């Protein structure tokens, strides 16, 4: 699929997630198969653009990919058309090649200031915002929405038509309403109806967690691409797994423990370098928790018992990954404990 001049190949993107899709994670997911990776949402309030958090979110140094031409996509959030237009200009000047507008976040602190998915209640305001942002920049503008405000007000089709009329280059739709938050199952009937109602490319989002599910969602909705959010946490290789399955119909073997360890080490080192040691170690813990959960699920699927190891394994030091990495207070210790954990099964096998 194309967004303006950019070919998104594979048409599988990393969904923007606050506190998750920082530059180290975006770069990792791109390397592991994501065709697009959008930043955490950045505020449209210019008073906050010089804070450390905003400066890090706006840091795109080294992120442009001249080989694969993967664009730098920056998400902005707010409620005022003029402020959002200014934010779009500012971020385009700072290196954004695609501007994405957040009208999908269900968080109370965002909706309480009439931003995110709260905007879906005011279709006239949506039109003014989209028109202002599209007119403000020369780069493609995309939009992320939910299916509606609540289940009684699924106005996603009307919002999509407003977006297309405003010149939005592509649309991403999460298959839940704002009121649903992240509970229950995503529904795809509204996404399918949205896709049928517009000509622009549409990403389906919500519960895309296996290659088979990805295929089913694309077949059902007829969408052009997929966005993956929570399923990529602790499992960034899901992009190549889905891309391979969509292309060949075959499932890739799960990554070997040695590769998982290498991916983790790369991620940790990049977090430590990007944020500095103290903040990097702290921020890495949540990612390590997601890796731990993913690793435990894979062990269970292969007949092992991750965190609930046998007494013999516990006595040998085969503790849960989550417990081990939370001990780390320094970058060196976090890296050492990670390497030791992934080396332990091999040592136990040799000892046996």
What are the helix (H) ranges across the chain?
23-31, 52-57, 81-93, 108-111, 123-136, 156-166, 189-197, 211-221, 238-248, 257-275, 277-301, 311-315, 321-325, 331-351
Angle, in degrees to the nearest 10, between helices 331-351 and 257-275: 170
Residue 346 has pLDDT above 80, yes or no: no
**Local confidence band at 317 (pLDDT 50, 70, 90 cut-offs):** very low
Task: Return the CATH number of 2-248, one of 3.20.20.70, 1.20.1200.10, 3.40.50.970, 3.40.50.720.
Answer: 3.20.20.70
The pLDDT, as a whole number, for residue 61 is 82
Residue 306 has pLDDT above 80, yes or no: no
Encode pLDDT of 199-236 as tens digits. Answer: 999 999 999 999 999 999 999 999 999 999 999 999 99
Q: Are 298 and 254 in contact (CB under 8 A)?
A: yes
With H, G, I as helix, E, B as strand and everything else as coil, classify residue 216: helix
* Nearest 10 degrees: Cα torsion 283, 107, 196, 217: 50
| CA–CA separation, 253 and 34 (whole Å) | 18
**Local confidence band at 300 (pLDDT 50, 70, 90 cut-offs):** low
| CA–CA separation, 310 and 316 (whole Å) | 10
223 part of the active site:
no
Domain ranges of the chain: 2-248, 257-351
The pLDDT, as a whole number, for residue 352 is 42
| Host H or E run for residue 43 | strand 42-43
pTM score, whole prediction? 0.89
Query: Which one, of 347, 343, 340, lies nearest residue 256 by Cα?
Result: 343
Encode pLDDT of 30-58 as tens digits. Answer: 999 999 999 999 889 888 888 888 888 88
29, 105, 111, 223: the catalytic one is 105
Output the CA–CA distances (angstroms, integers) from residue 16 to 21, 127, 145, 247, 311, in the order listed: 6, 22, 12, 25, 41
| CA–CA separation, 162 and 160 (whole Å) | 5
Query: Which one, of 263, 272, 201, 256, lies nearest residue 232 by Cα?
Result: 263
Residue 316 has pLDDT above 60, yes or no: no
* Nearest 10 degrees: Cα torsion 167, 172, 173, 174: -150
With H, G, I as helix, E, B as strand and everything else as coil, classify residue 3: strand
Cis peptide before 10 (omega within 30 of 0): yes
**DSSP string over 87-152:** HHHHHHHTT-SEEEEEE----HHHHTTT-GGGGGG-HHHHHHHHHHHHHH-SS-EEEEEES-SSTT
The pLDDT, as a whole number, for residue 311 is 42
- Identify which has the larger pLDDT, 143 or 64: 143
């Amino acid at each position: 699929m194309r967004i303006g001049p950019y070919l998104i190949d594979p048409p599988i993107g990393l969904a923007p997630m606050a506190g998750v899709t920082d530059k180290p994670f975006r770069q990792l997911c791109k390397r592991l198969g994501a065709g697009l990776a959008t930043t955490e949402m950045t505020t449209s309030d210019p008073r906050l653009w010089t804070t450390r958090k905003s400066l890090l979110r706006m840091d795109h140094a080294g992120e442009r990919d001249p080989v694969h031409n993967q664009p730098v996509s920056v998400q902005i959030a707010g409620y005022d058309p003029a402020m959002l237009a200014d934010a779009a200009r500012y971020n385009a000047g700072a290196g954004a090649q695609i501007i994405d507008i957040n009208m999908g976040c269900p968080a109370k602190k965002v909706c309480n200031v009439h931003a995110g998915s709260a905007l879906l209640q005011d279709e006239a305001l949506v039109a003014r915002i989209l028109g202002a942002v599209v007119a403000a920049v020369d780069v493609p503008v995309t939009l992320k929405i939910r299916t509606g405000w609540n289940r009684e007000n699924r106005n996603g089709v009307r919002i999509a038509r407003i977006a297309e009329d405003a010149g939005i280059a592509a649309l991403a739709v999460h298959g839940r309403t704002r009121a649903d938050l992240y509970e229950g199952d995503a529904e795809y009937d509204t996404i399918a109806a949205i896709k049928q109602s517009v000509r622009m490319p549409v990403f389906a989002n919500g519960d895309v967690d296996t290659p088979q599910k990805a295929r089913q969602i694309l077949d059902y909705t007829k969408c052009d691409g997929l966005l993956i959010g929570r399923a990529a946490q602790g499992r960034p290789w899901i992009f190549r797994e889905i891309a391979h399955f969509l292309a060949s119909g075959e499932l890739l073997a799960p990554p070997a423990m040695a590769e998982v360890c290498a991916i983790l080490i790369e991620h940790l080192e990049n977090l430590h370098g990007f944020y500095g040691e103290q903040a990097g170690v702290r921020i890495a813990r949540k990612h390590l928790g997601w890796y731990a959960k993913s690793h435990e699920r894979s062990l269970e699927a292969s007949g092992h018992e991750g965190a609930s190891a046998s007494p013999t394994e516990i006595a040998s030091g085969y503790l849960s990954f989550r417990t081990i990495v939370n001990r780390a207070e320094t970058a060196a210790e976090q890296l050492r404990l990670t390497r030791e954990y992934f080396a332990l099964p091999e040592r136990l096998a040799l000892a046996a």
